[in-house]
Amino acid sequence: MLPQITKADLNSFPATHDPRQVHCDHAITCRRRWTYASWELSKIQQEEITLKGHQLSRCPRSSGAPCLNQRMSEASFYIPMYTQPSPSPRKKRALLIGINYKGQHCELRGCNNDIHNILPCLINQWGYDPTNIVQLIDDGYNPPPTRANILLEMRRMASYARAGDSMFFYFAGHGGQIRDLDGDEVDGYDEFICPVDYQQSGMISDDVIHEIMVKPLAAGSRLTALFDSCHSGTVLDLPYLYDSRQCKFVDGITPDARIKKSSQAQVVCFSGCEDSEESESIAMPGQPIGGLMTFAFIHVFSCTRALTFQNRFEQIRAFVRATLPDARQHPQFSCSNPLDITLPFYI
């Protein structure tokens, strides 16, 4: 019996005037309603569909961002830095964040489950030591995923990085967009994630995430990030975005921002959807509700074969299409330096 998903009547969220909140005085009007400096989730749209005789439940992890048709141009000044991670890194660390926003009007179901699903894979299949995995979950048992805690652990993970290390970052929760003011976004909008206390402390923008978790990484280190949230296509502000239709890298940020957004480390980011799209939660047959992108990622990366980057990414997209033929999301991949897509790809 699949769990029942009840609709939540979501009211307007008050704006915060915390100076740490990014660009809140430039909010925009959109499909799910931004007004002035405050924003709201009108309703988390939830529905049930039938696929191959099974009933699936689905709902988006939306923050009410606008739908935009992003134009992608071929990446300028393409630098063929074909660096691949070692199958046996010196040390592995992970930071996992899952937020259900319990008790709030924007409450989600499934983000805590996502952590429980991906954690065994990190330990048993991908070789991460449990003592080197930090979990921030609003389940009442782990440290809460507040803005302060998230930023602290991001900084800590980046500061610990040394050449040869491999790191894994995971976020499941609400994401959104707001107008870009510094000219580094191709589509004109910054992306952000919502900590559990965003109403009091503010959101965390892609500019901030890049500055504290990507930019400081040591040369020769490796970070693999997975965002199962809405509007997350370029949430790490990485210069190169892979276009699966053209099988080449295009601009993830504006060419003028490439030097500012460069990194000495090899950073790769898997995102649940394009910047203008929503990532969905889904209850698979016999399993508790969780993120569709997370299910796809675990399914593909649990394969023991040395698959190429192109194989893995295309299989992730194929899993999403096969599970929900009418899925409103298209997984994305971006990186700090172009990768050779024909070589084996490891976490």
106 catalytic per annotation:
no
Task: Please say whether the beta carbons of 333 and 293 come within 8 A.
Answer: no
Establish whether 230 is a catalytic residue. yes
Distance CA 48, CA 57 (A): 4
Domain annotation for the chain: domains and CATH numbers: 12-335 (3.40.50.12660)
Per-residue pLDDT of the chain (347 residues; tens, 9 = 90+): 333 332 333 332 233 333 333 333 322 222 221 222 222 333 334 433 333 444 444 556 654 433 333 333 333 333 333 344 445 568 999 999 999 999 998 899 899 999 999 999 999 999 999 999 999 999 989 999 999 999 999 999 999 999 999 999 999 999 999 998 887 888 889 999 999 999 999 999 999 999 999 999 999 999 999 999 999 999 999 999 999 888 889 888 888 888 888 888 999 999 999 999 999 999 888 889 999 999 999 999 987 678 898 899 999 999 999 998 888 899 999 999 878 888 888 88
Strand locations in 212-256 (E): 222-228, 240-243, 248-251
Cα torsion 258, 334, 39, 207 to 10°: value is -30
Tell me the three state secondary structure of residue 290.
strand
The answer to whether the pTM exceeds 0.85 is no
Distance CA 98, CA 170 (A): 8
Calpha distance 129→122 (Å, rounded): 8
* Cα–Cα dist 48/283, whole Å: 9
Helix then strand then coil, % of the chain, to nearest 5: 20, 25, 55
From 23, 174, 210, 231, the catalytic residue: 174
Q: Is the dihedral of CA 320, 322, 323, 326 positive or negative?
A: positive
Q: For the chain, first and last CA: distance in Å?
A: 34
Of the listed 230, 269, 273, 335, which one is catalytic?
A: 230
- Kindly report the length of the chain: 347
Return the pLDDT at 74.
36
